[in-house]
Amino acid sequence: MSAFVLKIIALVTMLCDHSSYLLFGHFSPLNYIGRIAFPIFAFQITEGYIHTKNLKKYFFRLALFAVISQIPFMLFRSIFTSGISLNIFFTLLLGLITIFVYDRFNQVDCKNIAIRYLCNLFAIFVVIISAILAEILHFDYGAFGIAIIFIFFLFKKKPLLMNIGIIISIIIYYWNGLQNSSTYITYLIIVTFTCVPLLFINLYNNKKGKDTKLFLYLFYPIHLLVIYLLSLLPIFPIN
């Protein structure tokens, strides 16, 4: 399974997720399908970091579309909530910065064991601070988003540990949303669907496939804006 196929799966399932509020006016089975999208985006960030030919352009591109997407994102969220948060591009950008800094400090080649140890310790500290910032600044998916990007990167060559780490993170993340026993079934369904992308990721063949770079970046703000504009029409249940 190529990177192109993974991205298409992520885009389609993300569209299902966001369309739910337009079509039904509330959380629906489409949102379960939508849980598939983010882990794939998180995985693609680690792949982008490893394979990009120009890391500076990669940082800039994510930052640019984070800014461009924020207004469409806020308009879309206004359909179902008054809360304020930062869109997924900010999460992906912070995740990219996190693994970049971690990688640089973790690979410091120094004969002094104490300095090397301090560099490794600082690398872990950066990950923790990034996760805290993602929560405080209300990044989409918060600390969970940073955590799974880091896990995908850290265990890139250890698929068993990668899968275990991601599954544990998913279980913890959605457990916080449990309020009473009546939500246990919903919790299990959401956790299951959020684990589904691991099946696709484990089938990844390390091939790029078709280039969807510009399409992927443009699709996010455009589809959010279109959903918001459609929600203004009286034919949809959100009204």
4 and 62 Cβ atoms separated by less than 8 Å: no
> How many C-beta neighbours within 10 Å does residue 38 have?
24
pLDDT at 176: 72
Longest alpha-carbon distance in the chain: 69
Residue that is written with structure tokens 């939508």 in the block: 34
- Cα-based angle 54, 55, 56 (whole degrees, multiple of 5): 95
Any idea what DSSP says for residue 36?
T
63 and 69 Cβ atoms separated by less than 8 Å: no
Domain ranges of the chain: 3-231
143 and 135 Cβ atoms separated by less than 8 Å: yes
pLDDT digits (tens, 9 = 90+) for 205-234: 988 878 777 888 999 999 999 999 999 888
Q: 10-residue block means of pLDDT along the chain (239 residues)?
A: 92 94 83 95 95 92 96 92 90 96 81 73 90 95 96 95 96 75 78 95 88 84 95 77
pLDDT at 119: 75
One-letter amino acid of 50: I
pLDDT at 185: 83
User: Could you tell me the pTM of the whole model?
Assistant: 0.92
CA distance from start to end of the chain: 41
pLDDT at 111: 67
pLDDT at 155: 95
pLDDT at 22: 85
State the number of CA atoms in the 13 A half-sphere of 171 facing the CB.
6
